[in-house]
Amino acid sequence: AKEPARVLVTGAAGQIGYALVPMIARGVMLGLDQPVILHMLDIPPAAEALNGVKMELVDAAFPLLKGVVATTDVVEACTGVNYAVMVGGFPRKEGMERKDVMTKNVSIYKSQASALEKHAAANCKVLVVANPANTNALILKEFAPSIPEKNITCLTRLDHNRALGQISERLNVQVSDVKNAIIWGNHSSTQYPDVNHATVGGKPVRELVADDEWLNGEFIKTVQQRGAAIIKARKLSSALSAASSACDHIRDWVLGTPEGTWVSMGVYSDGSYNVPAGLIYSFPVTCANGEWKIVQGLSIDEFSRKKLDLTAEELSEEKALAYSCLS
Ligand code: NAX
């Protein structure tokens, strides 16, 4: 039998945490043959709720779940973890300046980076979910220099899955038949959902939809604004879809993407597609042997180029803001 993998979930008493931990305990993230030990971190005001989540995990009697650590101590939470899913963060509250939210998150991600660097297992893989996801991941990378930069990623798979969902609804086809959409850039409303290379049953989505106005307009906007639409409907932000997409992200990273298909991940830019190096930017990637690789050589038309640059500009600004918040 396999040794259990230790999986850290920060912000585990929150909404996404509540949806995510049972998925991990059921093998959705790492596979049905992989036992897990969950490490759940939250802050002291949420300690009691966190303990309640631990009680429910015990009550659910998951066969793959070999242990639960529920703690408000960052070092205890990070010790020996093989995977770290960073969901905890400071939310933007009404009336707060962007800079104030950034300052809070920069300080959280700086200290959690140090704890991971010192105490996580070697080769720990990190997925940042908490917003601003790309920039939190960048801060984490900067303050955990001994963790290889290829091990630090952020979640844009939810946006990717939203794009697949919109195409499947529009064409009335199975979502699993829609392949190779791309989310470029920031997990924010400047992201660029690109279907220029997407297919259904091997046929180009652009030909099947045959409505460029919709693909270049409403489709993009719907994906970009989907988070806000969920908040409007639920009075709460996306949780089950975020949790499920976080599992997809890690699963494909670890177990590989199927031949001929790619997914979107926020990763450290090496300058591919003339995206500035040194940003955490969402690219199309394939994964094999536990490593992602940016898909190379895709054609980028003029319309797309502008959108890739716009979201890169926003990320450069966020990066500068984050640095100005470092104390
Ligand atoms: P909740 O507010 O329900 O949960 C966040 C949890 O984090 C709370 O329990 C809080 O106590 C905890 N927390 C705060 N500071 C912490 C710290 N320093 N260490 C550990 N835990 C800490 O938010 P939820 O709806 O679960 O969303 C979590 C994060 O995901 C937010 O930042 C949200 O913006 C982000 N999202 C990112 C998405 C993505 O695709 N990348 C999509 C969904 C979601 O909006």
Say what the pTM is.
0.98
pLDDT at 113 over 80: yes
Listed residue (184, 120, 174, 130) closest to 12, CA to CA: 130
List all residues whose CB is within 6 A of at least one atom of ligand 1: 10-11, 13-17, 41-43, 46, 87-91, 108, 129-131, 133, 155, 158, 187, 227, 237-239, 242
In contact, 218 and 198? CB cutoff 8 Å: no
Q: Cα–chain-centroid distance for residue 282? A: 10
pLDDT band at 222 (very low <50, low <70, confident <90, very high): very high
Q: Which residues are catalytic?
A: 187
pLDDT, average across residues 273-300: 98
DSSP 23-83: HHHTTTTT-TT--EEEEEE--GGGHHHHHHHHHHHHHTT-TTEEEEEEES-HHHHHTT-SE
CA neighbours closer than 13 Å in the CB half-sphere of residue 106: 17
Q: What is the pLDDT of residues 227-264, one digit of tens each?
A: 999 999 999 999 999 999 999 999 999 999 999 999 99
Question: What is the Cα–Cα distance from 163 to 205, expressed in whole angstroms?
Answer: 12
* CA nearest ligand 1 atom 15, residue: 89
pLDDT band at 219 (very low <50, low <70, confident <90, very high): very high
pLDDT, average across residues 285-292: 98
228 CA from centroid of ligand 1 (Å): 16
* CA nearest ligand 1 atom 9, residue: 14
By most ligand atoms within 8 Å of CB, the mutation choice from 8, 9, 15 for ligand 1 is 15
* CB-based burial, 1-36: b 16+ in 10 Å, e otherwise: eeebbbbbbbbbbbbbbbbbbbebbbbbbbeeebbb
130 CA from centroid of ligand 1 (Å): 5
The CA-atom distances, in angstroms, between 272 and each of 54, 133, 275, 276, 308 are: 43, 20, 6, 8, 11
Q: What are phi and psi of 9, to 5 degrees?
A: -125, 115
* CA nearest ligand 1 atom 30, residue: 130
By most ligand atoms within 8 Å of CB, the mutation choice from 131, 250, 282 for ligand 1 is 131
236 CA from centroid of ligand 1 (Å): 12
pLDDT band at 72 (very low <50, low <70, confident <90, very high): very high
For residue 321, count other CB atoms closer than 10 A to its CB: 16
* CA nearest ligand 1 atom 1, residue: 14
